[in-house]
A and B are shown apart, each in its own frame.
Chain A
């Protein structure tokens, strides 16, 4: 479906008090981080979007598509990805990617090559065409799922719930999704992921209590943290590969 905007209209928090943030509008390419302590209502907010709440969920929120209440839940509006998702089918990477593309009537292109090209930019260990899906590492699995969602899935809205320690280049992952004109919401405790989004909504007691925009100081923080994240990932890859860390890598 063609989606020009999605809007979140306030409801109430767990104590029944109205939400401070009254409305959030998102257009293609927008990213919104959802932050707050454990139990503050991040997953519930994502779930409201997933089921296009009409004031009929515990939060009382409403979701508008293109400025209007949707008549029916359009199938295929949102794609979701969380720490818990796994591949369950028993086939190899290339066959699987080709099957997905064929299902969505996208013949012609060499989808396995295209998707693996992106996936392999997102994670350290290269994924090969004939790797069994079940044999992929956690990082490879996440990278392949993100590349597949970015390139093949038609869903215009992406919900990422706790992608934390996925072992992938999170920055490149979010950028790849946003570049395809997706609307991305990430519920996360990870400062690197939080600052990647231009805006973030702060949850407390089930309610949306602040809507922050990343400012100049936070943009500097973002660059700094991203650099640290890269150092961290490189060290992990080096150690995991049985190599030694050298002074050159840190000075």
Chain B
């Protein structure tokens, strides 16, 4: 079973890419399945099940950090995919926080970005881009050729191994290049011993356990303060 993790900011087109890929794979007689980790809404997985009748499952992190929730469930997700006898397992993450990257050693890692966010988005994104094996750039249909070229140029150079592929999430143009890329990737690693490519943020303060009052006196645990004394 090939496993592939897809991360990226909200609404960049992750599910759209997965849907086009599934369409192509089904036409070729393959058996794809999909897992979506999200904070509250199961619509992505439901949509894939409805449109393609493939096995899907969604994990909703609720009040937990969606990235922690994702990594806590990855081994089971891979077992589930194997149990479905899938030959390709898409794992879409919520990707809300740009502090970390939900990518795992030995598992093909895709980060999706769109052209609409401006040229400094790539530098703002950090590990999610630098840990990726493949960066998919969407929504190129909405901007000029020049903006596409400048945007692709601005993708971080500290990811020398990352390939960059443009995909149109509306028409699916480019998704075959993604699947050709996937064909060249190794089969999924053994989750029990696999490691995250980047550490996850510490989050063990009072707000992690449901505190809502914002005053200093209510803050306990791992609380970090900006250096307010040095502020002008």
Contact = CB atoms under 8 A, between A and B. Distances in A.
Interface stretch (B3-11, B35-43, B89-97, B148-156): B148-156
Contacts, number: 83
Interface in B114-167: 115-116, 118-119, 140-147, 149-150, 152-154, 164-166
Contact of A155 (B116, B143, B145): B145
A27 to B, nearest CB: 22
A88 B147 contact: yes
A56 interface: yes
Interface in A65-112: 73, 75-76, 79-82, 84-89, 96-97, 99-100, 103-104
B142 A86 contact: yes
Nearest to A149: B145
Interface stretch (A46-54, A210-218, A237-245): A46-54
Contacts of B150: 99-100, 103
Contact of B145 (A80, A89, A97): A80
Interface residues of B, number: 29
B177 A88 contact: no
Contact of A87 (B24, B144, B164): B144
Given A52-B177, A103-B149, A73 B165 contact: yes
A148 B144 contact: yes
Interface stretch (B168-176, B187-195, B203-211): B168-176
Contacts of A178: none
Contacts of A149: 145-146
A225 interface: no
B143 A87 contact: yes
Interface residues of A, number: 34
Nearest to A53: B176
B141 A57 contact: no
Contact of A148 (B145, B165, B180): B145
A18 interface: no
Contact of B141 (A51, A85, A145): A85
A81 B153 contact: no
Contacts of B141: 80, 82, 84-85
A160 to B, nearest CB: 11
Contacts of A43: 171
Contacts of A99: 119, 150
B144 A47 contact: no
A153 interface: yes
Contact of A79 (B115, B145, B175, B176): B145
Interface of A: 43, 47, 50-54, 56-57, 73, 75-76, 79-82, 84-89, 96-97, 99-100, 103-104, 145, 148-149, 152-153, 155
Interface of B: 24, 115-116, 118-119, 140-147, 149-150, 152-154, 164-166, 171, 173-177, 179-180
